[in-house]
Amino acid sequence: MAQFYEVEDAIFDAHTLILPIVEMAAQRGVMPDKILKGSKLFYDDLNKQTKRVSFAQLHCVISNTTKLLNADGISFLLAERLFHSLHGNAFQALMHASNLQQMFRISQLTQYELFPYMYAKSYYGNEQVHFVVNFSVCEPCEVVKGFFYELLAGLIECLLKWHFNKPAKRQESHGFHIKFPIAPPNHIEQFHSHLSCHYSFAHPMFIVSVDRAILLNKRDNALPAMTSYYLKQSRLSDYTIGFKQHLAQLITKMPKATSEQIATVMGISSATLKRKLKQHNTSFKMLKDEWQKQQSLIYITAQGYSNEKVAQALAFTDITNFRRAFKRWTGKTPSQLRAETKPFL
Protein backbone atom coordinates (compact mmCIF):
# COMPACT_ATOMS: atom_id res chain seq x y z
CA MET A 1 0.00 0.00 0.00
CA ALA A 2 1.30 3.43 -0.93
CA GLN A 3 2.08 5.90 1.84
CA PHE A 4 0.06 9.07 1.87
CA TYR A 5 0.46 12.51 3.40
CA GLU A 6 -2.22 14.50 5.17
CA VAL A 7 -3.17 18.17 5.23
CA GLU A 8 -1.29 18.93 8.46
CA ASP A 9 1.89 17.01 7.57
CA ALA A 10 4.81 19.41 7.15
CA ILE A 11 6.44 17.85 4.10
CA PHE A 12 6.74 20.59 1.45
CA ASP A 13 9.84 22.78 1.10
CA ALA A 14 8.98 26.32 2.15
CA HIS A 15 11.16 27.84 -0.55
CA THR A 16 9.34 26.31 -3.53
CA LEU A 17 6.07 28.23 -3.24
CA ILE A 18 5.73 30.25 -0.03
CA LEU A 19 9.02 32.15 -0.11
CA PRO A 20 8.56 33.39 -3.71
CA ILE A 21 4.96 34.40 -2.90
CA VAL A 22 6.14 36.39 0.12
CA GLU A 23 8.84 38.10 -1.96
CA MET A 24 6.52 38.96 -4.83
CA ALA A 25 3.97 40.37 -2.39
CA ALA A 26 6.65 42.56 -0.78
CA GLN A 27 7.55 43.94 -4.21
CA ARG A 28 3.91 44.97 -4.52
CA GLY A 29 3.81 46.71 -1.16
CA VAL A 30 2.26 43.89 0.91
CA MET A 31 4.34 43.05 3.99
CA PRO A 32 5.24 39.40 4.82
CA ASP A 33 3.26 39.35 8.08
CA LYS A 34 0.05 40.03 6.14
CA ILE A 35 0.69 37.23 3.66
CA LEU A 36 1.69 34.78 6.43
CA LYS A 37 -1.17 35.76 8.78
CA GLY A 38 -2.86 32.73 10.32
CA SER A 39 -0.34 30.22 8.91
CA LYS A 40 1.78 30.09 12.07
CA LEU A 41 4.80 30.78 9.87
CA PHE A 42 7.35 33.52 10.44
CA TYR A 43 9.37 35.25 7.78
CA ASP A 44 12.69 34.35 9.41
CA ASP A 45 11.78 30.64 9.43
CA LEU A 46 11.26 30.66 5.67
CA ASN A 47 14.88 31.40 4.93
CA LYS A 48 16.05 28.26 6.73
CA GLN A 49 17.02 25.60 4.20
CA THR A 50 15.28 22.84 6.10
CA LYS A 51 11.97 24.60 6.74
CA ARG A 52 9.04 22.40 5.78
CA VAL A 53 5.40 23.42 5.59
CA SER A 54 2.08 21.60 5.45
CA PHE A 55 -0.61 21.88 2.78
CA ALA A 56 -2.81 23.58 5.38
CA GLN A 57 -0.20 26.33 5.77
CA LEU A 58 0.23 26.62 2.02
CA HIS A 59 -3.55 26.86 1.70
CA CYS A 60 -3.64 29.69 4.25
CA VAL A 61 -0.86 31.69 2.55
CA ILE A 62 -2.45 31.29 -0.89
CA SER A 63 -5.83 32.29 0.46
CA ASN A 64 -4.27 35.48 1.92
CA THR A 65 -2.53 36.14 -1.39
CA THR A 66 -5.73 35.88 -3.41
CA LYS A 67 -7.43 38.29 -1.02
CA LEU A 68 -4.65 40.90 -1.02
CA LEU A 69 -3.26 40.62 -4.55
CA ASN A 70 -6.08 39.15 -6.58
CA ALA A 71 -5.44 40.92 -9.86
CA ASP A 72 -1.65 40.71 -9.89
CA GLY A 73 -1.31 37.31 -11.54
CA ILE A 74 0.98 36.03 -8.78
CA SER A 75 -0.03 32.47 -9.73
CA PHE A 76 1.31 32.81 -13.27
CA LEU A 77 4.49 34.58 -12.17
CA LEU A 78 5.01 31.85 -9.59
CA ALA A 79 4.67 29.22 -12.32
CA GLU A 80 7.44 30.87 -14.35
CA ARG A 81 9.68 31.00 -11.31
CA LEU A 82 8.95 27.44 -10.34
CA PHE A 83 9.70 26.20 -13.83
CA HIS A 84 13.04 27.97 -13.94
CA SER A 85 14.04 26.88 -10.46
CA LEU A 86 13.34 23.14 -10.88
CA HIS A 87 16.62 21.28 -11.12
CA GLY A 88 16.10 17.88 -9.48
CA ASN A 89 16.37 14.46 -11.08
CA ALA A 90 12.66 14.32 -11.80
CA PHE A 91 12.80 17.56 -13.76
CA GLN A 92 15.90 16.42 -15.68
CA ALA A 93 14.11 13.19 -16.60
CA LEU A 94 11.15 15.26 -17.81
CA MET A 95 13.36 17.53 -19.90
CA HIS A 96 15.00 14.64 -21.70
CA ALA A 97 11.77 12.82 -22.52
CA SER A 98 11.35 12.02 -26.19
CA ASN A 99 7.68 12.98 -26.53
CA LEU A 100 4.70 14.39 -24.66
CA GLN A 101 3.33 11.00 -23.72
CA GLN A 102 6.59 10.04 -22.05
CA MET A 103 6.60 13.41 -20.31
CA PHE A 104 3.20 12.70 -18.83
CA ARG A 105 4.28 9.24 -17.63
CA ILE A 106 7.34 10.73 -15.96
CA SER A 107 5.32 13.48 -14.31
CA GLN A 108 3.02 10.79 -12.89
CA LEU A 109 5.93 8.75 -11.57
CA THR A 110 7.68 11.74 -10.03
CA GLN A 111 4.55 13.59 -8.91
CA TYR A 112 5.89 13.97 -5.37
CA GLU A 113 9.05 15.70 -6.58
CA LEU A 114 7.53 17.78 -9.35
CA PHE A 115 4.11 18.99 -8.22
CA PRO A 116 2.77 17.11 -5.20
CA TYR A 117 -0.36 19.25 -4.82
CA MET A 118 -2.37 17.89 -7.74
CA TYR A 119 -2.53 14.73 -9.84
CA ALA A 120 -3.76 13.86 -13.31
CA LYS A 121 -5.45 10.82 -14.81
CA SER A 122 -5.46 10.29 -18.55
CA TYR A 123 -8.40 9.16 -20.68
CA TYR A 124 -8.03 8.31 -24.37
CA GLY A 125 -10.71 9.54 -26.75
CA ASN A 126 -10.70 9.02 -30.51
CA GLU A 127 -9.03 12.30 -31.39
CA GLN A 128 -7.71 13.58 -28.10
CA VAL A 129 -6.29 12.51 -24.78
CA HIS A 130 -7.93 14.10 -21.76
CA PHE A 131 -5.99 14.69 -18.59
CA VAL A 132 -8.38 15.17 -15.68
CA VAL A 133 -6.66 17.02 -12.83
CA ASN A 134 -7.69 16.86 -9.17
CA PHE A 135 -6.27 17.91 -5.82
CA SER A 136 -4.03 15.44 -4.11
CA VAL A 137 -4.10 16.34 -0.41
CA CYS A 138 -7.47 17.85 0.42
CA GLU A 139 -10.34 19.76 -1.16
CA PRO A 140 -9.24 23.45 -1.10
CA CYS A 141 -11.62 26.41 -0.93
CA GLU A 142 -12.73 28.00 -4.22
CA VAL A 143 -10.19 30.85 -4.39
CA VAL A 144 -7.28 28.54 -3.60
CA LYS A 145 -8.50 26.11 -6.25
CA GLY A 146 -8.49 28.97 -8.76
CA PHE A 147 -4.93 29.87 -7.78
CA PHE A 148 -3.73 26.29 -8.28
CA TYR A 149 -5.52 25.99 -11.64
CA GLU A 150 -3.71 29.13 -12.80
CA LEU A 151 -0.41 27.89 -11.38
CA LEU A 152 -0.71 24.57 -13.18
CA ALA A 153 -1.82 26.24 -16.44
CA GLY A 154 1.21 28.53 -16.13
CA LEU A 155 3.52 25.54 -15.68
CA ILE A 156 2.00 23.78 -18.69
CA GLU A 157 2.52 26.97 -20.72
CA CYS A 158 6.21 27.09 -19.69
CA LEU A 159 6.64 23.43 -20.56
CA LEU A 160 4.98 23.89 -23.95
CA LYS A 161 7.04 26.96 -24.76
CA TRP A 162 10.13 24.96 -23.97
CA HIS A 163 8.96 21.83 -25.79
CA PHE A 164 7.84 23.65 -28.94
CA ASN A 165 10.67 26.15 -28.95
CA LYS A 166 11.31 25.95 -32.68
CA PRO A 167 9.14 28.21 -34.85
CA ALA A 168 8.21 25.26 -37.10
CA LYS A 169 6.88 23.40 -34.07
CA ARG A 170 4.85 26.26 -32.58
CA GLN A 171 1.78 25.33 -34.56
CA GLU A 172 1.67 22.08 -32.62
CA SER A 173 1.03 23.90 -29.36
CA HIS A 174 -2.42 24.65 -30.80
CA GLY A 175 -3.24 21.03 -30.17
CA PHE A 176 -3.56 21.89 -26.50
CA HIS A 177 -6.73 23.00 -24.78
CA ILE A 178 -6.95 23.83 -21.06
CA LYS A 179 -10.49 23.68 -19.66
CA PHE A 180 -10.98 25.57 -16.40
CA PRO A 181 -13.83 24.63 -14.06
CA ILE A 182 -14.30 28.29 -13.05
CA ALA A 183 -16.29 31.20 -14.46
CA PRO A 184 -14.30 33.69 -16.59
CA PRO A 185 -12.43 35.63 -13.87
CA ASN A 186 -12.28 39.40 -13.46
CA HIS A 187 -8.52 39.29 -13.93
CA ILE A 188 -8.90 37.72 -17.38
CA GLU A 189 -6.01 39.93 -18.59
CA GLN A 190 -3.60 37.65 -16.72
CA PHE A 191 -4.83 34.70 -18.77
CA HIS A 192 -4.59 36.78 -21.97
CA SER A 193 -0.99 37.73 -21.29
CA HIS A 194 0.37 34.52 -19.82
CA LEU A 195 -1.29 31.74 -21.79
CA SER A 196 -0.77 31.23 -25.49
CA CYS A 197 -2.48 27.84 -25.76
CA HIS A 198 -6.26 27.49 -26.11
CA TYR A 199 -8.28 27.74 -22.93
CA SER A 200 -11.92 28.11 -21.93
CA PHE A 201 -13.99 28.41 -18.79
CA ALA A 202 -17.01 27.03 -16.92
CA HIS A 203 -16.26 23.35 -17.47
CA PRO A 204 -17.46 20.72 -15.00
CA MET A 205 -13.85 19.75 -14.14
CA PHE A 206 -10.25 20.75 -14.81
CA ILE A 207 -9.17 19.05 -18.02
CA VAL A 208 -6.20 19.42 -20.31
CA SER A 209 -7.09 17.99 -23.71
CA VAL A 210 -4.31 17.20 -26.16
CA ASP A 211 -4.58 16.11 -29.80
CA ARG A 212 -3.41 12.52 -30.05
CA ALA A 213 -1.54 13.47 -33.21
CA ILE A 214 1.09 15.48 -31.31
CA LEU A 215 1.37 13.19 -28.33
CA LEU A 216 3.96 10.89 -29.88
CA ASN A 217 5.80 13.50 -32.00
CA LYS A 218 9.48 13.18 -31.28
CA ARG A 219 11.38 16.08 -29.81
CA ASP A 220 14.48 16.61 -31.93
CA ASN A 221 17.09 16.97 -29.23
CA ALA A 222 15.59 14.53 -26.75
CA LEU A 223 17.90 12.03 -25.07
CA PRO A 224 15.71 9.15 -23.86
CA ALA A 225 18.73 7.38 -22.38
CA MET A 226 19.20 10.34 -20.05
CA THR A 227 15.56 10.09 -19.02
CA SER A 228 15.92 6.57 -17.72
CA TYR A 229 19.20 7.53 -16.03
CA TYR A 230 17.60 10.42 -14.15
CA LEU A 231 14.51 8.39 -13.34
CA LYS A 232 16.71 5.81 -11.66
CA GLN A 233 18.44 8.58 -9.71
CA SER A 234 15.12 10.03 -8.64
CA ARG A 235 13.83 8.58 -5.40
CA LEU A 236 11.02 6.49 -6.85
CA SER A 237 10.96 4.29 -3.75
CA ASP A 238 9.68 7.27 -1.75
CA TYR A 239 6.63 7.40 -4.01
CA THR A 240 3.97 9.07 -1.91
CA ILE A 241 0.64 10.64 -2.68
CA GLY A 242 -1.83 12.85 -0.85
CA PHE A 243 -4.65 11.65 1.37
CA LYS A 244 -7.42 12.56 -1.07
CA GLN A 245 -5.62 10.97 -4.00
CA HIS A 246 -5.09 7.81 -1.98
CA LEU A 247 -8.80 7.57 -1.22
CA ALA A 248 -9.72 8.30 -4.84
CA GLN A 249 -7.49 5.40 -5.88
CA LEU A 250 -9.18 3.07 -3.40
CA ILE A 251 -12.62 4.11 -4.66
CA THR A 252 -11.54 3.49 -8.27
CA LYS A 253 -10.27 0.04 -7.32
CA MET A 254 -13.36 -0.82 -5.27
CA PRO A 255 -16.30 1.14 -6.73
CA LYS A 256 -18.85 -0.82 -4.70
CA ALA A 257 -17.09 -0.56 -1.35
CA THR A 258 -18.74 1.28 1.55
CA SER A 259 -16.85 3.76 3.68
CA GLU A 260 -16.54 1.08 6.41
CA GLN A 261 -14.90 -1.30 3.96
CA ILE A 262 -12.50 1.42 2.77
CA ALA A 263 -11.61 2.20 6.40
CA THR A 264 -10.86 -1.48 6.99
CA VAL A 265 -8.58 -1.58 3.95
CA MET A 266 -6.75 1.48 5.30
CA GLY A 267 -6.42 -0.17 8.68
CA ILE A 268 -8.31 2.55 10.58
CA SER A 269 -11.73 2.73 12.21
CA SER A 270 -14.59 4.17 10.19
CA ALA A 271 -14.95 6.99 12.77
CA THR A 272 -11.30 7.94 12.22
CA LEU A 273 -11.81 7.88 8.46
CA LYS A 274 -14.83 10.13 8.80
CA ARG A 275 -12.89 12.56 10.99
CA LYS A 276 -9.94 12.60 8.59
CA LEU A 277 -12.23 13.20 5.61
CA LYS A 278 -13.81 16.15 7.40
CA GLN A 279 -10.38 17.53 8.25
CA HIS A 280 -9.60 17.39 4.51
CA ASN A 281 -12.75 19.35 3.69
CA THR A 282 -14.48 16.43 2.01
CA SER A 283 -16.58 13.32 2.71
CA PHE A 284 -16.89 9.79 1.40
CA LYS A 285 -19.98 10.75 -0.57
CA MET A 286 -18.26 13.81 -2.11
CA LEU A 287 -15.28 11.74 -3.22
CA LYS A 288 -17.47 9.05 -4.69
CA ASP A 289 -19.60 11.68 -6.45
CA GLU A 290 -16.51 13.33 -7.85
CA TRP A 291 -15.21 10.04 -9.22
CA GLN A 292 -18.54 9.02 -10.75
CA LYS A 293 -19.17 12.48 -12.19
CA GLN A 294 -15.77 12.80 -13.85
CA GLN A 295 -15.76 9.23 -15.06
CA SER A 296 -19.24 9.48 -16.57
CA LEU A 297 -18.46 12.81 -18.29
CA ILE A 298 -15.40 11.29 -19.91
CA TYR A 299 -17.24 8.11 -20.90
CA ILE A 300 -20.03 10.11 -22.51
CA THR A 301 -18.19 13.02 -24.16
CA ALA A 302 -14.89 11.43 -25.13
CA GLN A 303 -15.45 7.71 -25.34
CA GLY A 304 -19.03 7.54 -26.64
CA TYR A 305 -20.42 5.14 -24.02
CA SER A 306 -24.15 4.40 -23.87
CA ASN A 307 -26.04 5.04 -20.62
CA GLU A 308 -26.18 1.31 -19.91
CA LYS A 309 -22.45 0.97 -20.28
CA VAL A 310 -21.74 3.98 -18.05
CA ALA A 311 -24.15 2.85 -15.34
CA GLN A 312 -22.57 -0.58 -15.38
CA ALA A 313 -19.00 0.72 -15.30
CA LEU A 314 -19.73 3.04 -12.39
CA ALA A 315 -21.53 0.47 -10.23
CA PHE A 316 -24.99 2.05 -10.45
CA THR A 317 -27.88 -0.30 -9.67
CA ASP A 318 -29.91 0.86 -12.68
CA ILE A 319 -29.98 3.43 -15.50
CA THR A 320 -32.66 5.62 -13.91
CA ASN A 321 -30.45 6.09 -10.86
CA PHE A 322 -27.54 7.03 -13.06
CA ARG A 323 -29.57 9.53 -15.10
CA ARG A 324 -30.82 11.19 -11.92
CA ALA A 325 -27.34 11.43 -10.42
CA PHE A 326 -25.94 12.79 -13.68
CA LYS A 327 -28.55 15.54 -13.78
CA ARG A 328 -27.64 16.44 -10.20
CA TRP A 329 -23.90 16.77 -11.03
CA THR A 330 -24.09 18.59 -14.32
CA GLY A 331 -27.58 20.09 -14.56
CA LYS A 332 -28.11 18.16 -17.81
CA THR A 333 -29.23 14.70 -18.80
CA PRO A 334 -26.69 12.44 -20.53
CA SER A 335 -28.45 12.77 -23.89
CA GLN A 336 -28.49 16.60 -23.66
CA LEU A 337 -24.75 16.57 -23.05
CA ARG A 338 -24.18 14.18 -25.96
CA ALA A 339 -26.08 16.52 -28.27
CA GLU A 340 -24.04 19.51 -27.06
CA THR A 341 -20.63 17.95 -27.44
CA LYS A 342 -21.26 16.23 -30.76
CA PRO A 343 -20.16 19.24 -32.86
CA PHE A 344 -16.78 19.29 -31.10
CA LEU A 345 -15.94 15.63 -31.65
Partner 1 sequence: MSVIQQSFFKLHKPLWVLLAIVIPTTILTVASNSTLKNTDAVDWIDCICEGGIAFMTLLWLIATLLSRPKGNVTLLLFFGLSAMHISMLMDFLDEFYRFDSANTWLSAFEAFPAFIGMILMSFAMYFWYQEQQILNFMLLKKERFYREYGLTDFISGLYRAEYMKQQIDKELLALKHHNIPFCIALIDIKEFSVFNEKYGVTKANSLLADVGQIILLNLRDSDLACRYASDRFIVLMPNTNLSTAKQVINQVADRVSNHRPYAQGHLISGSNDVHWLCEQAHKGEQQASLLARINAQLNTQKSAA
State the Cα–Cα distance between residues 118 and 171, nearest whole angstrom.
28
Q: Spell out the residues 6+ positions from residue 328 whose beta carbon is closer than 8 angstroms to its own.
A: none
Q: Binding to partner 1 by residue 202, rule CB under 8 A? A: no
Q: Binding to partner 1 by residue 27, rule CB under 8 A? A: yes
Q: Binding to partner 1 by residue 17, rule CB under 8 A? A: no
Residue of the chain from 10, 71, 202, 339 that contacts partner 1 (CB under 8 A): 71
Q: Of 16 and 108, which CB lies nearer to partner 1 in the complex structure?
A: 16
Q: Binding to partner 1 by residue 87, rule CB under 8 A? A: no
State the Cα–Cα distance between residues 182 and 205, nearest whole angstrom.
9
Nearest to residue 102, comparing CAs of 158, 149, 163?
163
Q: Binding to partner 1 by residue 33, rule CB under 8 A? A: no
Helices (H), the chain: 18-27, 32-36, 43-46, 55-68, 74-85, 89-95, 100-109, 111-114, 142-163, 188-194, 212-215, 224-233, 243-253, 259-266, 270-279, 284-301, 307-313, 319-330, 334-341
Q: Binding to partner 1 by residue 173, rule CB under 8 A? A: yes
Burial class, 177, CB count within 10 angstroms (exposed 0-12 / middle 13-18 / buried 19+): middle
Helices (H), 86-218: 89-95, 100-109, 111-114, 142-163, 188-194, 212-215
Which neighbouring-strand residues pair with 148?
none
State the Cα–Cα distance between residues 118 and 111, nearest whole angstrom.
8
Which range touches partner 1 (CB under 8 A), out of 22-30, 46-54, 224-232, 325-333?
A: 22-30
Q: Of 133 and 153, which CB lies nearer to partner 1 in the complex structure?
A: 153
Residue of the chain from 8, 10, 31, 233 that contacts partner 1 (CB under 8 A): 31
- Residue 125 identity: G
Q: What is the nearest approach in angstroms of partner 1 to the Cβ of residue 33?
A: 11
Q: What is the nearest approach in angstroms of partner 1 to the Cβ of residue 19?
A: 13
State the Cα–Cα distance between residues 320 and 223, nearest whole angstrom.
52
Residue of the chain from 5, 12, 76, 243 that contacts partner 1 (CB under 8 A): 76
Residue of the chain from 54, 57, 190, 282 that contacts partner 1 (CB under 8 A): 190
Q: Of 25 and 247, which CB lies nearer to partner 1 in the complex structure?
A: 25
Residue of the chain from 142, 189, 318, 340 that contacts partner 1 (CB under 8 A): 189
Q: Of 136 and 190, which CB lies nearer to partner 1 in the complex structure?
A: 190
Task: Give the SS3 label for residue 274.
Answer: helix
Residue of the chain from 3, 47, 165, 193 that contacts partner 1 (CB under 8 A): 193
Enumerate residues 139-168 that contact partner 1 by CB under 8 A: 167
Q: Binding to partner 1 by residue 188, rule CB under 8 A? A: yes
Q: How many beta carbons lie within 10 A of that of residue 49, not counting itself?
A: 7
Q: Binding to partner 1 by residue 101, rule CB under 8 A? A: no
Q: Binding to partner 1 by residue 187, rule CB under 8 A? A: yes
Cβ atoms 119, 294 nearer than 8 A:
no
Name the residues that contact partner 1, by CB under 8 A.
23-24, 27-29, 31, 71, 73, 76-77, 80, 84, 167, 170, 173, 184, 186-190, 192-194, 196
